[in-house]
Structure 1
Amino acid sequence: MLVLNTLGSAGARTVVPLPRSLIQMVTMGALAAAFALALTVNLRLRVRPSAYLFLLTLLLVPSLVSSADPESGFGALFRCARLALFVGTLWLLSRWWDGGPTFVRHHIRMYFLVLGSVAAGLVVSPGAALPELYGGRLVGALWPLTPPQIGQYAAVIIGLTVLLLLGGRTDRRGAALVVVPSLVLLALTHTRTATLGLIAGLVLAIGSLFLTSAAARRFFGWTVLCAAVAAVGFGSALQAWFLRGQSQENFTSLTGRAKVWDALLAADRTASELLLGTGLGDKSFGGLPIDNSWLAVYHEQGLTGVALVAAVLVVLGGVALLRPPSLSRACAIFLISYCAIASYTEAGLGDASPYLLHLAVAASLLAAPAPAAPLPAPDVPRRRVPRWARTSEVI
């Protein structure tokens, strides 16, 4: 339900036109259902302490204060309520955060289902799935998904599946069924951020296992060898894929993002807007997407929000570095590093988004195992003592 809520309602044109109001109704209904289900299985409101969730709860303060301004509009308050419900659901689920890979498996399965809908749309209508409007990049033809979204989902489940394979938690056949089609979809999206995040995240995650896992060392060696062969034999094709036919000026300005960033930073702000932002919005400035988590948070939640988001990444990264080498630690390092890299060209760290879900999985992996409950005393039947033996004297 949380995954469905964070898919968004804006994107490419679908084969069957879906009204945006209907999509928003489905996504918000999914969030309400997620909260209701989590509350149903956790009626006693048992939660585990979590610095990650505590910082997200604090992030609600500048969001609510800035969104309460009448100039922000009703939409800002609605987004605040959505973020509060999202964080509340994560608090209810924190009861089951025990440092194991359970949530990693759920994460892979859910996003693999999303990619399955993308693949189905590609089969049903290749023209709608590879439209000229997006330069022939893969989009969602059944559900409105953009190329960066598809690339993000593919990169995340590829990295997590590879780590589960190296940790012996899945076999090669199961890993291939997830990794191979996801790699194809990632290549069709031509998403550079997701590709770089996948590579850098795997390097850091496998590096954390390098000294303790022979499988990680073998995988790293074979990967370096294959990368060298690909660079020599397919260098021009890889360069063409990476540039996506863009000019040098367009590539340097990050597909026009830098112009929006410069305008946002040059805009005049009051002391309140500088500290608390202008309220939760659609992550745009002047009608153009911001496409940077840090600037989006700065614009909507001010310097206070930037400090809290930075604290989230610093705390999670610091805890990951202090943990002993393990599969859970490697998966957490991959997710944290991927989100940190993607934050430069993608927005979402300050609002309910897949990135907060990725970091929630990382926090569940870094949680200390719950202490084992003491075993109840055996119910031994009491032996009846004769009346003559109940005296205090021994005869």
Structure 2
Amino acid sequence: MTTSLHAPAPVTGPRPAGTPKLAGIAWGLLILNTLGSAGAKTIVPLPRSLIQMVTMGSLVAAFALALAVNLRLRFRPSAYVLLLSLLLVPSVLSSVHLEAGFGALFRCTRLALFVATLWLLTRWWDGGLTFVRHHIRMYFAVLGTVAAGLVVSPGAALPDTYGGRLVGALWPLTPPQIGQYAAVIIGLTVLLLLGRRTDRRSAAVIIVPSLVLLMFTHTRTATLGLLVGLVLAIGSLLLTSAAARRFFTWTVVIATTVAVVFAGALQSWFLRGQSQENFSNLTGRAKVWDALLAEPRSVSEMLFGVGLGDKSFGGLPIDNSWLAVYNEQGLVGVTIVAAFIVALAAVALLRPPSLQRACAIFLISYCAIASYTEAGLGDASPYLLHLALAAALLATPVAQPQPLPPPALPAQARAKDRPYIPRWARRPEVT
């Protein structure tokens, strides 16, 4: 289930053709690796070992392809990937004690391979939109499997165990995952449409089904992140884009009308049938957070954490990136994560208005909002890939070498190269 996102007009800046196809395939394999191995029950039961073999195999294949197209190991400087590399230090220091089991060392190896692949791909981070298109196409293909599962077996795709929310029936994906993928590609496609980098038909093919799937997931975090991210991204284009101003105006009018007319239905969708108390403690997340913060820790555990785990505490998911990083990589890890988010945000604010800057602002703001109720900023995850895409968009374009002018010939050589004209054919000199 793919679609074209080619521009009707050439993209200014570095040419996307400069990025090898293998680099785009490697990016897609990184996305496959971060899909995870735990989720809902599928129509055809898939052993977890098989899913882990596919995801880890995709990471190894991504590294091999990135290395194959960058054998000379040419990297571009990237503060984001550098700070991500530093995050390996507290991860390894806390994992070698094996408090989280041998799985912690396995996750460290996975994170190291993930970061190494990003380093190899930085060679083509030139501020262009090539990786944005790879990002949209791959996640749209993932959503295609979700839609196919919904058509084949609606009961398995909308199970009672998840409160009737949409899950992956062909590949084990949870509602928050599906909501995240849908929200991200909707936001990026809207921005490409405003920047005239795609046509309306191609954009509609992406946006409409993704929006339907997002509504079926009842994912409040993804919906809020999409709305806030688009407001900030489009706001950065208001002064330079008439299309952005028109879109912003019509969106405000339509959103206000819908909010007034369908206020009751929107409230029911947002609450998902939960009580006010359950909603106020974030579906039980606050209890896990309080227990995690109250847990006594040694100085080493406070600084470096207990090692990379499955982002859970006491058998319950943490569902907060900052607390998950604090638990697994300590205060040092929290500081590094905060540093690369602040660095990306600062660079985005200092860049002149452009479509690339708007896409980066959307991705950074979405990840910042989702970090409150979703874990993933401290380990190989889709959120780190979203931020890597933002870093690629904010990279300084590579200056294209200008051809040197031909050297000037001496007067004698120029006279020698002139064609011979007979005396009788020469024009008479005017005196």
- Normalising to structure 1: TM-score of the pair? 0.95
For 1:375 and 1:145, locate their aligned partners in 2 and report how far apart those are by CA, in whole Å.
51
Partner of 1:358: 386
Q: Does structure 1 retain, via aligned residues, the 8 Å contact 2:288–2:313?
A: yes
For 2:332 and 2:134, locate their aligned partners in 1 and report how far apart those are by CA, in whole Å.
33
Q: Pick from 8, 13, 20 the counterpart of residue 48 of structure 2.
A: 20
Q: Does 1:165 align with 2:205?
A: no
- Classify 1:380/1:18 alpha carbon distance in 2 versus 1 (closer, same or farther; 3 Å): farther
Partner of 1:369: 397
C-alpha distance after superposition, 1:175-232 (max 9, x if no partner): 1000000000000000000000000000000000011111001000100011111011
Q: Pick from 293, 296, 317 the counterpart of residue 324 of structure 2.
A: 296
Q: 1:228-307 maps to which residues of 2 (within 5 A)?
A: 228-307=256-335
The one-letter amino acid of 2:75's match is V
The one-letter amino acid of 1:74's match is F
- Classify 1:381/1:39 alpha carbon distance in 2 versus 1 (closer, same or farther; 3 Å): farther
Q: Does 1:135 align with 2:163?
A: yes
The one-letter amino acid of 1:145's match is L
Q: Pick from 209, 216, 223 the counterpart of residue 181 of structure 1.
A: 209
For 1:204 and 1:358, locate their aligned partners in 2 and report how far apart those are by CA, in whole Å.
16
Q: 1:113-124 maps to which residues of 2 (within 5 A)?
A: 113-124=141-152
* Cα displacement (A) at 1:371: 2.2
* Cα displacement (A) at 1:381: 11
For 2:308 and 2:406, locate their aligned partners in 1 and report how far apart those are by CA, in whole Å.
56
* Cα displacement (A) at 1:379: 9.9
Quote the sequence identity (%). 79
For 1:73 and 1:282, locate their aligned partners in 2 and report how far apart those are by CA, in whole Å.
11
* Cα displacement (A) at 1:47: 0.5
Q: Where does structure 1 lack aligned partners over 5 or more consecutive residues?
A: 386-395
The one-letter amino acid of 1:135's match is G
Q: Pick from 109, 112, 127 the counterpart of residue 84 of structure 1.
A: 112
Q: Does 1:308 align with 2:336?
A: yes
Q: Does structure 1 retain, via aligned residues, the 8 Å contact 2:40–2:167?
A: yes
The one-letter amino acid of 1:17's match is P
For 2:116 and 2:341, locate their aligned partners in 1 and report how far apart those are by CA, in whole Å.
20
The one-letter amino acid of 1:136's match is G
Q: 1:304-343 maps to which residues of 2 (within 5 A)?
A: 304-343=332-371
Q: Where does structure 2 lack aligned partners over 5 or more consecutive residues?
A: 1-28, 414-431
* Cα displacement (A) at 1:144: 0.1
Q: Does structure 1 retain, via aligned residues, the 8 Å contact 2:99–2:307?
A: no
The one-letter amino acid of 1:123's match is V
Larger radius of gyration: 2
RMSD: 1.6
For 2:199 and 2:402, locate their aligned partners in 1 and report how far apart those are by CA, in whole Å.
35
* Cα displacement (A) at 1:42: 0.3
The one-letter amino acid of 1:187's match is M
Q: Does structure 1 retain, via aligned residues, the 8 Å contact 2:98–2:307?
A: no
What secondary structure does 1:32 align onto?
Answer: helix
The one-letter amino acid of 1:179's match is I
Partner of 1:203: 231
For 1:249 and 1:21, locate their aligned partners in 2 and report how far apart those are by CA, in whole Å.
39
For 1:100 and 1:5, locate their aligned partners in 2 and report how far apart those are by CA, in whole Å.
24
Partner of 1:103: 131
For 1:234 and 1:8, locate their aligned partners in 2 and report how far apart those are by CA, in whole Å.
36
What secondary structure does 2:399 align onto?
Answer: coil
Partner of 1:57: 85
Q: Does structure 1 retain, via aligned residues, the 8 Å contact 2:292–2:313?
A: yes
For 2:374 and 2:128, locate their aligned partners in 1 and report how far apart those are by CA, in whole Å.
29
C-alpha distance after superposition, 1:263-312 (max 9, x if no partner): 00000000000000000000000000000000000000000000000001
Large movers: runs of 4+ above 6 Å: 376-382
